[in-house]
Amino acid sequence: MEWLAAVADLVVPRTCPGCGTSSASWCAACAGELLGELVAFGGVRPVAPSPSPPGFPPCFAAGAYAGRLACVIRAHKDGDRADAAGLLAALLRPVLDAAVAQLVATGAEDPLVVPAPSRGSSVRHRGRDPLGDVVRRAAAGRWPVLGCLAMRRGVRDQAGLDARARAANLAGAVVMRPSARGLVSGRPVVLVDDVVTTGATLSGSTEALRGAGASVVVAVVLSARRRRNADEAPLSPRGVVG
Ligand SMILES: [Zn+2]
């Protein structure tokens, strides 16, 4: 019912989620800045947390988790700004394309695109699937999108946990939906998340995908968050994909 959401956007007074100014949706300045984020970040970049958790996959980011991009990701995920999906998908798309191109260059065929799991309670609370919506728009029917990963019950929200607590919280926490096992076996997978911080979600998801027989897993994220703790090295780009 995309048309319905589009009509609702037109009739409901809104503010721009990037800067808070009165606007039907995005103000031109924020839209321009977000789409320029990829350029500002230096192109599609491989990133990795330091230290990387065991099994952390090769990972490409569209931007840094800061400024307007961070505001928009939060507004889309935790607020009511479903209208941000199109813009975030436009940002994700070149990163997704680069990851698929890397897979294809290594001879992998029939890639699957898999959104990282959210806690079930978060999804139910929101009544929608924010990440899945962005991923489906970015894939645009070119590759199948399979929401095959779930968080085991009892997993806490990761926000506010440090690296060690996140790793403990997520140990064995990502599970494959039984009905999807046969669909993943033997396939290359592009795993997608909105933010990478400690890498715990992506490494746990990779473990689950590998366990279901995925032939290779690479990850793409909308944004990479720098560590706040002084004793942890920042999440650093390793170089530009050439
Ligand atoms: Zn704005």
Write the DSSP string, 196-242.
Answer: ESSSHHHHHHHHHHHHTT-SEEEEEEEEEPPP-STTS---EE-----
Instruction: Tell how far the Cα of 93 is from the centroid of ligand 1, in angstroms.
Output: 21
Dist CA 123 CA 133 (whole Å): 12
User: Residue 190 in 3-state DSSP?
Assistant: strand
Q: How far is the CA of 27 from the centre of ligand 1 (A)?
A: 4
**Distance from residue 109's CA to the centre of ligand 1 (Å):** 40
Cα-to-centroid distance, 30 and ligand 1 (Å): 4
Q: What is the pLDDT of residues 209-226, one digit of tens each?
A: 999 999 999 999 999 987
Q: How far is CA 155 from CA 93, 150, 164, 216, 218, in A?
A: 30, 11, 14, 26, 24
pLDDT at 12: 54
CATH number of 37-237: 3.40.50
Contacts of 66 (CB under 8 A, 6+ apart): 223, 226
Q: Domain-by-domain residue ranges, the chain?
A: 37-237
Closest CA to 221 of 191, 194, 190, 188: 194
Q: What is the pLDDT of residue 124?
A: 54
Measured distance CA(191)–CA(113) in Å, rounded:
6
- Report d(CA 37, CA 62) in Å as an integer: 7
pLDDT digits (tens, 9 = 90+) for 20-50: 888 777 788 888 888 777 677 777 778 999 8
pLDDT tens digit sequence for 77-129: 888 788 888 889 989 999 999 999 989 888 888 899 999 998 655 555 567 88
In this predicted structure, the answer to whether residue 8 has a pLDDT above a threshold of 90 is: no
Ligand 1 centre distance from Cα of residue 236 (Å) = 28
Nearest to 189 by CA among 146, 133, 142, 136: 146
pTM across the whole model? 0.81
Confidence at 196, pLDDT banded by 50, 70, 90: very high
pLDDT score at 233: 39
